[in-house]
A and B are shown apart, each in its own frame.
Chain A
Amino acid sequence: MKILNCPLNGPRPIQEFHYGGEFHPPLDPAELNDADWGQEVHHRHGEPGVKREWWYHTASGTWFIAERDNLKDHVIQTYLYTPECGND
Chain B
Amino acid sequence: MPHRLLKFGFSDHHPEPRMFREVSQLKPEYDAVIIGGGGHGLAAAYYLGKDHGISNVAVLEQGYLGGGGTGRNTAIVRSNYLTPEGARFYQASVELFQDLSRELDYNLFYSERGHFTLAHSPASLRTQRWRAEVNQHLGIDSQVVYPDFIQSQIPQIDLTCGGHQPPIHGALFHPPGAIARHDAVAWAYARGADRYGAEIHQQTAVTDIEVRDGAVIGVHTDRGYIKTRKVLSAVAGWTTHITKMVGLTTPLVIYPLQAMVTEPLKPWLNHIVVSASLHVYVSQSSRGELVAGASLDPYELISSRSTLDFAESMSGHLIDLFPCLPQVNVLRQWAGMCDMTPDFSPIMGLTPISGFYLDSGWGTWGFKATPISGKTMAFTLANNRDHDLIKAFNLSRFERCELVGEKGAASVGH
Contact = CB atoms under 8 A, between A and B. Distances in A.
Nearest to A20: B299
A26 interface: no
A48 interface: yes
Contacts of B299: 19, 53
A53 B301 CA distance: 12
A70 B302 CA distance: 6
B400 A43 contact: no
Given A71-B302, A71-B303, A73-B301, A43 B240 contact: no
Interface residues of A, number: 21
B398 A38 contact: yes
A10 interface: no
Contacts of A39: 249, 398-399
Interface string A20-54: 01100000000000110011011111111000010
Interface string B240-257: 110110000111111000
B167 interface: no
Most chain B beta-carbon contacts within 10 A, residue among A21, A34, A43, A47? A47
B330 to A, nearest CB: 20
A28 to B, nearest CB: 18
Contact of B240 (A18, A22, A34, A47): A47
Contacts of B31: none
Contacts of A15: 309
Contacts of A21: 300
A81 B303 CA distance: 28
Nearest to B307: A2
Interface of A is mostly: mixed
B298 interface: yes
B183 to A, nearest CB: 27
A38 B243 contact: no
A36 B40 CA distance: 31
A43 B241 contact: no
Contacts of B400: 34-35, 38
A18 B297 CA distance: 11
A70 B303 CA distance: 8
B252 A46 contact: yes
Contacts of A45: 249
A33 B384 CA distance: 28
Most chain A beta-carbon contacts within 10 A, residue among B239, B251, B399, B400? B399
Given A38-B398, A38-B401, A48-B240, A43 B301 contact: no
Contacts of A44: 249-253
A52 B45 CA distance: 39
Interface string B277-298: 0000000000000000000001
Contacts of B398: 38-39, 41-43
A39 B252 CA distance: 12
A43 B250 contact: yes
Interface of B: 239-241, 243-244, 249-254, 298-303, 305, 309, 339, 342, 398-401
Given A71-B303, A73-B305, 17 more contacts: A21-B300, A34-B399, A34-B400, A35-B399, A38-B399, A39-B399, A41-B401, A42-B251, A42-B342, A44-B250, A46-B239, A46-B250, A46-B253, A46-B300, A47-B240, A70-B301, A70-B302
